[in-house]
Amino acid sequence: MVEAAGTLEVSIWRGGAEGAMQRYQVPARGNQTVLDIVTHIQRELDPSLAYRFACRVGMCGSCAMMVNGRARWTCRTHASRVIGADGRLGLRPLANLPVIRDLATDMAPFFDKWARARGRFQPKDAPDGAVPQEFHVVPPASKQRREADAGIECIGCGVCHASCDVVAWNPDYLGPAALNRAWTLVNDVRDGARQERMEAVAGDAGCHSCHSTQSCTERCPKQLDPSAAIAGLKRSLFWDTLLGRRA
């Protein structure tokens, strides 16, 4: 690793819902990620610092935090790219979720929203969850398959949820990730719970609350487009309502 001269001034949120920023001096290195910095602080300076990570290579999505005010995967964020002209780095826990301690948030409300949006695959032929007798044929080039493919790579890191103003204004709003998941299932021809799912995403806290600011699409580290998925849900609900297809 290339050594770079100097130290970094890093401020980190300490505490739960109530707390304060605490400053640390961290050696600057030529090639370090924000997660490297947090790990350095926890191992060398202050073992009481709470944070969360697992894979360190952008697969698990557990290390997302607010980096200088913007939700990012810290493992895939080079410090040199985000340190401002003033040489400072500010780290806070992921926005729009309860803080457990320091940089660790409680992700339960985020995943509860997936459940509320009926984010679980419900096999068409076997409501009891049994393996269906016949396999569905899903042509890879079909419109529905392509719609589902566009959103299926979500790993549930919560970056879009933390970046969404509508979630900040209305904590009940299902949010981009849960609605994106719902849209992939609406386009899954093997799924049998379309009706219930559409009702689940149609309420006050559902897809119609979205203002299409597209912060979710802008920030998604997987380059997914939850905003387009939400637009798809709105469109489907519009036609379902107009044509009397809703129960």
Partner 1 sequence: MMDLRPRSHPTYLAFLVHRISGLLLALFLPLHFWALGGAIQGEAALEGFLRWTDRPLVKAAEFGLVLLLAAHLAGGLRVLALEFLGWRRRQKDLVAASAGISLAAGLLFLLAVF
Site residues (CB under 8 A) for partner 1? Answer: 66, 69-71, 95, 150, 163, 165, 168, 211-215, 217-218, 225, 227-228, 231-232, 234-235, 238
User: To the nearest whole angstrom, how small is the minimum distance from the Cβ of residue 238 to partner 1?
Assistant: 8
Task: Give me the least distance between CB of 230 and partner 1, in Å please.
Answer: 9
Query: Residue 31 or 213: which CB sits closer to partner 1?
Result: 213
> Closest Cα to residue 178, out of 154, 214, 196?
154
CA distance between the termini of the chain: 62
Nearest residue (CB) to partner 1, 238 versus 241: 238
The 3-class secondary structure across the chain, one letter per residue, is: CCEEEEEEEEEEEEECCCEEEEEEEEEEECCCEHHHHHHHHHHHHCCCCCCCCCCCCCCCCCCEEEECCEEEEHHHCEHHHHCCCCCEEEEECCCCCCEEECCEECCHHHHHHHHHCCCCCCECCCCCCCCCCCCCCCCCCCHHHHHHHHHCCCCCCCHHHHHCHHHHHCCCCCHHHHHHHHHHHHCCCCECCHHHHHHHCCCCCCHHHCCCCCHHHHHCCCCCCHHHHHHHHHHHHHHHHHCCCCC
* Least distance to partner 1, CB of residue 234, Å: 5
Nearest distance from C-beta of residue 66 to partner 1, angstroms: 7
Question: Which amino acid is it at 183?
Answer: W
Cβ proximity to partner 1, 147 vs 191, nearer residue: 147
Between residues 125 and 165, which has the closer beta carbon with respect to partner 1?
165
Q: Which is nearer to partner 1, 146 or 246 (CB)?
A: 146
Q: Closest distance between partner 1 and the C-beta of residue 62, in Å?
A: 20
Complex with partner 1: residue 29 or 222, whichever CB lies closer? 222
CA 155/CA 60 separation, integer angstroms? 7
